């Protein structure tokens, strides 16, 4: 709750207590199951969910893995050319699980979906499981056990938010034809920063999008536009919310970054459309919003795109390297001690 005078806060609390039972925490140490550690001197707050993963693993009776698991999902080295089949869109013919095992997988998916707001590194793996949880197979079960091994190895995650001018910036990315039934995955990185520029100071995300594109897209460029489309849809209410909280957004539009030049060219009318006219009907909404200066679309190289990590599968060494680019690093990570950096 944001307030400028204690009397205003007391008035709201009294109005709530008149009709509801409630508790008040003036230290602001917890919110919706999340632990908040404030550091006003250095201008940041650390957000974590202490013991959430540990309690969940005990609930699902999952034993620790025999060896550390550094990747939340299995990784298969890609094959190029004609050396071998490579079709992630084909469903394997495996028997479906019974009702008891299906409910267990659905429960695991729902439990850790909430935890993924603090540990977004597990979102791609959860996205695959959620895509199959209605009719899970043995492969879905293996994927579920894999992510549990990863969470057992990396149970604690902390996001650090730095004080800023609360300007919303969005980065989007996509992975073409990586899901069964010829589906693609869209990802988005939503942060609040001081100045929307080409190079942005890294801040923890207020939201990470990792979703399956429901329609079958016809090209990688269409997948990128679909990702921009989904990201802009989620950014609209965030823009309104920030404005209502007295944090005005740039008059020339919220910055949206993409690493696909074709997608940017089509949406900003800098590229002549030929075979891509088929998806105008679905995604023309973004072109209108760009013209209205609600969004400002900018191209950025793939190496600088923060959303790329959440759209694809990567090998374990890459996850180990990138995990603390997105999360706050423990002080004694080399000793295996889960102690986060908190300067008071």
Closest CA to 313 of 178, 160, 164, 172: 178
Q: Find how far residue 61's CA is from the centre of its chain.
A: 27
Residues 179-226 have pLDDT tens digits of 888 889 999 999 998 876 544 456 899 999 999 998 888 888 889 999
Residues 153-164 have pLDDT tens digits of 999 899 999 988
Residues 249-298 have pLDDT tens digits of 998 899 999 999 988 988 888 887 776 656 666 677 888 888 888 899 98
Closest CA to 290 of 342, 258, 255: 255
User: Has this prediction a pTM greater than 0.85?
Assistant: no
Closest CA to 102 of 146, 62, 141: 141
- Report the CATH fold assignment for 165-304: Nucleotidyltransferase; domain 5 (3.30.420)
Q: What is the largest CA-CA distance in the chain?
A: 72
Strand runs labelled E in 16-77: 30-31, 34-39, 44-48
CA-CA-CA-CA torsion for 158, 162, 257, 304, nearest 10 degrees?
A: -70
pLDDT average, residue stretch 16-42:
88
Nearest-angstrom CA–CA distance, 188 and 168:
13
Nearest-angstrom CA–CA distance, 266 and 250:
23
Nearest-angstrom CA–CA distance, 167 and 248:
8
For residue 336, pLDDT over 50 is answered with: no
Write down the pLDDT at residue 197. 55
Closest CA to 153 of 31, 342, 333: 333
pLDDT average, residue stretch 42-65:
92
User: 281 CB contacts (<8 Å, ≥6 apart)?
Assistant: none
Mean pLDDT score across all residues of the chain: 84
For residue 88, pLDDT over 80 is answered with: no
| Residue 236's pLDDT band (cuts 50, 70, 90) | very high
Strand runs labelled E in 94-182: 158-162, 167-179
Residues 139-153 have pLDDT tens digits of 999 999 999 999 999
Given a contact cutoff of 8 angstroms between Cβ atoms, the answer to whether 116 and 126 are in contact is: yes
Strand runs labelled E in 26-110: 30-31, 34-39, 44-48
Residues 319-328 have pLDDT tens digits of 888 888 888 8
Output phi, psi for 336, to 5 deg: 80, 20
Q: Tell me where in the chain the CATH 3.30.420.10 domain(s) lie.
A: 165-304
Q: Inter-axis angle of helices 99-115 and 138-153, to 10 degrees?
A: 40
């Amino acid at each position: 709750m944001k307030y400028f005078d204690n009397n205003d806060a007391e008035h709201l609390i009294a109005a709530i207590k008149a009709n509801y039972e409630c508790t008040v925490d003036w230290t602001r140490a917890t919110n919706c199951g999340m632990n908040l550690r404030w550091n006003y001197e250095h201008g940041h707050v650390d957000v974590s969910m202490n013991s959430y993963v540990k309690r969940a693993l005990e609930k699902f009776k999952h034993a620790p893995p025999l060896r550390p698991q550094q990747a939340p999902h299995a990784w298969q080295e890609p094959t190029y050319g004609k050396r071998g089949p490579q079709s992630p869109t084909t469903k394997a013919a495996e028997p479906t699980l019974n009702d008891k095992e299906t409910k267990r997988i659905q429960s695991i998916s729902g439990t850790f979906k909430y935890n993924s707001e603090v540990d977004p590194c597990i979102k791609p793996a959860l996205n695959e499981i959620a895509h199959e949880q209605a009719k899970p197979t043995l492969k879905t079960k293996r994927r579920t056990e894999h992510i549990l091994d990863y969470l057992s190895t990396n149970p604690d995650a902390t996001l650090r938010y730095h004080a800023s001018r609360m300007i919303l910036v969005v980065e989007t990315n996509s992975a073409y034809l990586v899901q069964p039934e010829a589906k693609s995955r869209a990802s988005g990185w939503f942060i609040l920063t001081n100045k929307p520029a080409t190079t942005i100071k890294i801040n923890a995300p207020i939201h990470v999008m990792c979703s399956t594109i429901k329609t079958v897209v016809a090209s990688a460029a269409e997948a990128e536009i679909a990702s921009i489309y989904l990201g802009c849809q989620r950014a609209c209410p965030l823009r309104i919310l920030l404005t209502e909280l007295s944090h005005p957004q740039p008059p020339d539009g919220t910055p949206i970054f993409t690493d696909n030049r074709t997608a940017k060219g089509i949406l900003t009318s800098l590229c002549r459309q030929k075979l891509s006219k088929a998806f105008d009907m679905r995604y023309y909404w973004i072109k209108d919003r760009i013209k209205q200066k609600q969004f400002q679309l900018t191209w950025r190289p793939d190496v600088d795109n923060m959303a790329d990590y959440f759209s694809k599968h990567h090998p374990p060494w890459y996850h180990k390297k990138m995990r603390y680019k997105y999360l706050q690093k423990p002080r004694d990570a080399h000793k295996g001690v889960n102690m986060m950096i908190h300067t008071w």
